Structure 1
Amino acid sequence: MPEGDTVWQAARRLHSALAGKVLIRSDLRVPRLATADLTGRTVLDVTPRGKHLLTRIEGNLTLHSHLRMDGSWKVFAHGQRWAGGPAHQIRAILGNAAHTAVGYRLPVLELLRTSDEDRAVGHLGPDLLGPDWDPGVALANLLKDPERPLGEALLDQRNLAGIGNVFKSELCFLLGVTPWLPVGHLPADRAAHLPELAKRLLEDNRDRPIRRTTVTHADTTRATASAGRRAPDLFVYGRAPRPCLRCGTRIRVADQGDGSRERPTYWCPTCQRGPSPAPTRERRNRPHTAG
């Protein structure tokens, strides 16, 4: 599930493979870009912005992509067999003499002027992994609508950019409140701690191949290590109806909207205070990925 850490990793891979090199292959497989040809141009850099990727190319051009739920960029060495999905799912190919970047299932792909990037990302709040990060602005954005459920506010990229459904559930657990708590009801000390904690979660995971939120909490790590087992990667996300790592209560899961669709949301009814859905709204757990 691509979130800010995953997009940061994708940008780093793309930048390493493409930046400073001339494109010898360009194939953008969406109708409005079918005639666009970037061959002969040098890729300047690849920059993440929240969950967005900006591939900047000489000539004041930016290829803007967004992974959403299923998209991915794969990088292959020259002559390496591509593996990322069937050919009909390929939406973009950018290649130089040494590497080829292939974009699979990209729901958003557009070519715009670099000077017009704000059209694509100007609405975003401070980026948790970006140079524009400002915890004060992020918190003020979250508190603008004090009656909005915290989980929904965290997923709104206009407030702060980079949190997805996994980090939403994990962050609410670490704050000790349910995702349905109105953000304005968050205790003042926890509200002040929220931006720092969110940033730390993403920073801790931007260099990891597998997302983990439990490794920095020694109490949980010791408990699992004593049983001869590695600590679970996540506290609550994807763990219903297994026991909470802290109190043993069964983790629950229910849908919560994010302004566009319902998302499975996980919480511990004992460790997290605040409102939660009625049992009739609760849903069964389903398989997930956390990468």
Structure 2
Amino acid sequence: MEVLADTNLAKVLVVDDENSSHIVLGDLINHLAKVVTANSAKSALTLLEEFTPDLILLDIVMPEMDGFELIKVLKSSKHWSQIPVIFVTARDDIDMQERGFELGACDYIVKPFHPTITRARIQTQLDMVRQRKMLEQLANIDALTEIPNRRQLHDHLAVEWASAQRTNTSFALAWVDIDYFKKFNDSYGHGEGDLVLKRVAQALKQTLKRPRDWVCRYGGEEFVLILPETELDGANELMKSIQQNIAELSIGHTGSEVSQQLTVSIGCCVQQPHLQHNPEDLLLQADRCLYKAKSNGRNQNVVQLV
């Protein structure tokens, strides 16, 4: 297996037992994509455990496992089923093409490669992948605050939870709620309320310094923070920093019952995940901590080790 191009472009996996095909395809599309090659289905499956390509160019006739068998494996996997596959083969007969499309291929390129047609067909698929990713990103971003929305929460939580289990590290999750936000909207109007949500979202994002720290808008005036590798003391300090940074926004809130400025209440739980634990339970426990913070008078945080 060999990497033929080292760019930040799309990633294409070429699976073919003929090295000449690797070279030709690499030369044809190295300006379009980063090209990674495998000379067998087994090698391809090993590579797929390490990275996810945007497109697979797959030969049909290969020893041990042919392209038809490999695409069956790909399309039956929840991780790989959405990767588009173009068959590349010297077998130019209708029955082979029909079978390839029936198994889920998106196109069929015949050897020897015609440069213009080959590039065009690959470019078309890469364009479709890029458009799909853009749509997925838009669907997962809160339009108002431009941070992730709740659609991403459970998937992101599951990934970080599993990572914490593997590394045996502590994990923190926090709810942040803007105090008396309804009264703010009543006093200043929903337009000003939207601006507040944007400013609070950005303040939360800027407070999180580590690359894996993550925040989303759950809905309304509520935000959720996922904080991998965070101990109790670190969580306490971070929650204090969040409240301080929100206070430094100096947003007036005459309708608040706890301050003349906008404040937040925070509930946070810290846990070292084990197999018997459930990440959804941590969401509920952090929500209970938020309820305590609000019941105790708001404008405060409650951080617990669970």
TM-score, scaled to structure 1: 0.30
Whose relative contact order is higher, 1 or 2, with alpha carbons under 8 Å and at least 6 apart? 1
Give the structure with the higher percent helix: 2
Larger Rg: 2
